[in-house]
Amino acid sequence: MPWDFALILFVLGVLVPWRGFVRIRELLRQPALTTAERLAVYASTIVFQWFAVTVVLWRATAHAISAARLGIALPDLALAAFATVALLLPLLANQFYGLRRLARLPPEQQGFLGQLARKLMPQNLLESLAFIALACTVAACEELLYRGFVFTVLYAASGGALAAAIFGSSLLFALAHLYQGRRGLFATFVVGLLLAAARAWTGSLAPCIVVHLVVDLAAGLAAPRLLRAPAPAPHPEEHA
């Protein structure tokens, strides 16, 4: 494996998870975030992800890795569409089921996910528009990084072992979400396996990007509303 590919894998597998964990924990320790602070988080994430993709595509091109090998292709539109729907329906159903289940709990019992939704998810129209831009960036960039570059590099390094490419790319993808805790890490790993399998089956990142985008948008735009703390019940004396 070329040294620059190994260095990129190290950054994605060690530095990105560590920095993400530290950054999110620092943000969650704050009593509240203003709109400006939330927008700054979105903007810095967008800039970093596009920078990372630019570096990865630069090095992949330098080693003559074609766009098709990275999954930037659509060899079979019907197959890609079928894979997209087959993945999207159960993942969306599971997403909304989990959010509704969490919403039935008091805010103090919603744990990390509830805290994350209230602190970092969009709370008004301006933030929602910025979050849509963030979700588009994350869907495209993370799929290019993990199901595109990492998948391709591990496939080649393992001598064409598809299982190694699927498992390894899913592991690094899960580690990038280390800040979500053990449950989030496991859930992200499972989603990564499904997306990597779709990429291997269709030869394209298109289903992965679409599924990733829709699931992130559903979570980011619905979670703050579903998990919003309910208004306190009126005191009996108020009706006296």
The reply to whether 234 falls in a domain is no
pLDDT digits 0-9 by tens, 51-67: 999 999 999 999 999 99
The reply to whether 235 falls in a domain is no
The reply to whether 53 falls in a domain is yes
Rg over alpha carbons for the chain, rounded to the nearest Å, is 19
pLDDT digits 0-9 by tens, 136-147: 999 999 999 999
pLDDT at 119: 80
The answer to whether 109 and 239 are in contact (CB under 8 A) is: no
Q: Which residues contact 98 (CB under 8 A, 6 or more apart)?
A: none
pLDDT digits 0-9 by tens, 79-106: 999 999 999 999 988 888 877 777 777 7
Torsion of CA 23, 24, 27, 31, to 10 degrees: -150
Q: Which residue range is the domain that position 44 belongs to?
A: 3-229
The reply to whether 171 falls in a domain is yes
141 φ, ψ (degrees, to nearest 5): -70, -45
The reply to whether 238 falls in a domain is no
Between 105 and 42, residue with greater pLDDT: 42
The reply to whether 240 falls in a domain is no
Q: Is 56 exposed, middle or buried (0-12, 13-18, 19+ CB in 10 A)?
A: buried
Number of domains observed in the structure of the chain: 1
For the whole model, what pTM was predicted? Answer: 0.87
The reply to whether 125 falls in a domain is yes
Which DSSP letter does residue 229 get?
P
